[in-house]
Amino acid sequence: MALFSSNAFNSLVLMLSLSIILILLPSSFASNKWGIPQSDVDLLEFPLNLEYLEAEFFLWGSLGYGLDNVAPELTGNGPEPIGAKIAKLSPFVRDVVEQFAFQEVGHLRAIKSTVPGFPRPLLNISSESFATVINSAFGRTLKPPFDPYANDINYLIASYVIPYVGLTGYVGANPNLQSPAAKRLVAGLLGVESGQDAVIRALLFEKAYVQVKPYGITVAEFTDRISNLRNKLGHAGLKDEGIMVKPSEGAEGRISGNVLAGDKDSLSFGRTPEEILRIVYGSGNESKPGGFYPKGAEGRIASHILD
């Protein structure tokens, strides 16, 4: 008589095979409902730092209040941002910014529905914080200090400082993602972040040669100086361009208008988490917090760099 029936033998083989697979499965895979590897979890959590920043800046700028009023469940009881206030915007620009604001709330919810996430970090979105960025971009102290909340143009210039950095982060993360769930999420986030950046750049491009009062400096030069600063702080070469460039540096080397930034093939630039931290800290050093993040960014990637 056979010791095992055919069905019993097949079941035993299946169980042994599954055991071997589980043993050999990379330890990087996290035990979550999505089956997302830990490396993907880290890469998805890191941009929460930028999404929190954008959400608060756009909410406060357009509505005069932030996440604590709109979606307190997403804050994780993190500290309220420093220096946030409503901006003096025209009805049209206010409407655009408010749309951005609620889009960012959706982004936060989408990420935190996929990975554990972390509470809102301490953010400094005060006039002084933006003035410091602008002073660094020009290599001198502007007088009076640049106020991002003063009017449409100032607010759009300040907005130019933020979303593009997150956009490049998503582009940089994409090749390193392993799971389909993570790739789908990043693709969706990147599409809307790119759209926001395009709208901001288009609105500024329309005013490219308008002088920003009272400095007598054109909008185009502001964007050029900010982009140069980000390239300098990132320590990774050219990954940023203003809204006007030399014709030889524009699309196909044939045009000076640069409403969308891209490489020689008009593909988006990508940045690593380290590059992003160097920029948003304003220090050029990924382990030296400051700028928009007085106490540093959150998540395993940022925390590991700070340790």
Three-state SS at 65: coil
pLDDT at 24: 42
Domain count, the chain: 1
Average pLDDT over residues 73-97: 98
Q: Is the pLDDT of residue 172 over 70?
A: yes
pLDDT band at 163 (very low <50, low <70, confident <90, very high): confident
pLDDT score for 9: 45
Tell me what percent of the residues of the chain surpass a pLDDT of 70.
89
Q: What is the CATH number of the domain that holds 98?
A: 1.20.1260
- For helices 180-206 and 163-173, the axis angle rounded to 10 degrees is 150
Which residue range forms the structural domain that includes residue 153?
A: 36-306
Q: Is residue 165 part of a domain?
A: yes
Per the domain annotation, does 24 fall within a domain?
no
**227-252, pLDDT tens digit by residue?**
999 999 999 999 999 999 999 999 99
Per-residue pLDDT tens over the stretch 89-119? 999 999 999 999 999 999 999 999 999 999 9
Find tokens 């930034």 and name the residue: 261
Whether residue 18 is contained in a domain is answered as: no
> What is the widest separation between alpha-carbon atoms in the chain?
98
What is the band of 2 on the pLDDT scale with cuts at 50, 70, 90? very low
Residue 11 lies in a domain: no
What are the pLDDT digits (tens) for 3-28? 445 555 455 444 544 444 433 444 44
In a domain, 106, yes or no: yes
CA distance 208 to 102: 28
**Does residue 26 form part of some domain?**
no
Q: What's the predicted TM-score (pTM) here?
A: 0.89
Q: How far apart are the C-alpha atoms of 268 and 190, rounded to whole Å?
A: 11
- For the chain, percent of residues with pLDDT exceeding 90: 87
Residue 156 lies in a domain: yes
Give φ, ψ of 244 to 5 degrees.
-135, 135
- Average pLDDT, whole number, for the chain? 92
pLDDT > 80? residue 150:
yes
Is there a domain that residue 287 lies in? Answer: yes
